[in-house]
Amino acid sequence: MRTVILRSDDATSFATGISEAARALRAGELVIFPTDTVYGLAANAAHPPATARVRALKSAAAALPLTVHLGQRRDAGQYLTSPSALARRLARRAWPGPVTLVCPESDPAGTAVAARYPDVRLDELYAGGRIGLRCPDSAVAMRLVLEADVPVVATAAARSGSAAPVELSAALEDFDGEVRFAIDGGRTRYAQPSTVVEVDGNQWRIVRPGAIEERALARYAVSEVLFVCTGNSCRSPMAEYLFRRELGRQLGLADAELEAAGYRVGSAGTSAYAGGTASSGAIEALAGRQIDLTPHRSRPLAVELLHRAQWIYVMSDEHRRAVLELLPAAADRVQLLDAEGPVSDPFGGTVERYNACAEQIERAVRRRVEEFVNEDRDW
């Protein structure tokens, strides 16, 4: 067999070539293709002779893991019946990108991919009740998989024991003449394998280090919300505590369980000093709602807090401007807590004023919690 090499010198012919390679994948041919990490050897998992040939070429036993490659993030839902919130959160933040998620699946036969492709070898996809999923940040890889429209599995395009190739020439040293098509995407972006992360419920661990560092994954694994007001003694503490209670209610978790489940809720003030208590009016307003605000201690707004937060909710446009002065890159993560208008400062006001403020915050918090929780129900 002559391996046809597709190069990007001519955009039109390259696009046509990728479509040809996708058709070949559907028909059971093997294809070498670039990802953002290394070059892969791809096969159609719904065509058992194709995956058997991958193993034969790799000179590997059946234990060789074949990772499912996705053309778009949401396609992960076809392979999992009940993905955890953590799995969806990591996928949403790390994909497309150089991360492979290994997720548990107790019912492979109940997945959408099993229903859609009766010929798929489920034992090729689910080894020991787990499946590896990958959505590479490579336009070529994503287009190939989307056009193939079959469950595409892949492994590094190198014989077992050899280094994973980061240029097509290295892959062809082992497989020239053994595959129908090879797509040349130049040197891969990261030039090292993906980071493989095993996810189990609310826990994760790196089983193979790679292009994404552990500290980045630790940020991806946590959903953090930050509320910002001026002194961090009235509005933002009330929002923090009300949000935490509503979040626990919607998730069915006790307050103490939220952080273990990957949720953090905090507050800060643009003109706050560290260690101050909540105002007596705010404490009284929340006490009427069976929430103890006395443990709260104020803290000043800092860049690190903004970097960590997935969402930053402010009480007024003035607070939004203060946030963006510190971190302009946070612009797409900053919103008014109450989309209907600013939350006025009750500091020094009457009990009625504090209660009115708490009521406004509570209404807004219910909407924001629902939005927040729904993110982790999606890919």
pLDDT digits (tens, 9 = 90+) for 217-230: 999 999 999 999 99
- Correct CATH for 222-375 of 3.40.50.1820, 3.40.50.2300, 3.40.109.10, 3.20.20.120: 3.40.50.2300
The most distant pair of C-alpha atoms in the chain lies apart, rounded to whole Å, by: 84
pLDDT at 11 over 70: yes
pLDDT of residue 60: 63
Q: What is the mean pLDDT of residues 290-314?
A: 97
pLDDT at 244 over 80: yes
pLDDT of residue 222: 94
| Domain locations in the chain as residue ranges | 4-217, 222-375
| Residue entry with tokens 């949401």 | 74
Burial class of residue 34 (count of CB atoms within 10 Å of its CB; 0-12, 13-18, 19+): buried
Q: What is the mean pLDDT of residues 352-372?
A: 97
94 SS3 class: helix
- Distance in angstroms (rounded) separating the CA atoms of residues 357 and 233: 13
pLDDT > 90: percent of the chain = 90
- Distance in angstroms (rounded) separating the CA atoms of residues 168 and 359: 62
What tokens does 249 get?
């209610």
pLDDT at 23 over 90: yes
Q: What is the mean pLDDT of residues 167-192?
A: 96
Complete DSSP assignment for 111-127? SHHHHH-TT--HHHH-B
Paired sense of beta strands 152-156 and 67-69, if any: antiparallel
pLDDT of residue 157: 96
**Average predicted confidence (pLDDT) for the chain:** 95
267 SS3 class: strand
pLDDT of residue 49: 95
Kindly report the CA angle at 90 between 88 and 93, in degrees rounded to 5? 105
pLDDT of residue 191: 97
pLDDT of residue 379: 77
- CATH 3.90.870.10, domain 4-217, yes or no: yes
pLDDT at 281 over 60: yes
Q: Which of 58-67, 183-192, 325-334 has the lowest mean pLDDT?
A: 58-67
pLDDT of residue 333: 96
pLDDT at 62 over 60: no
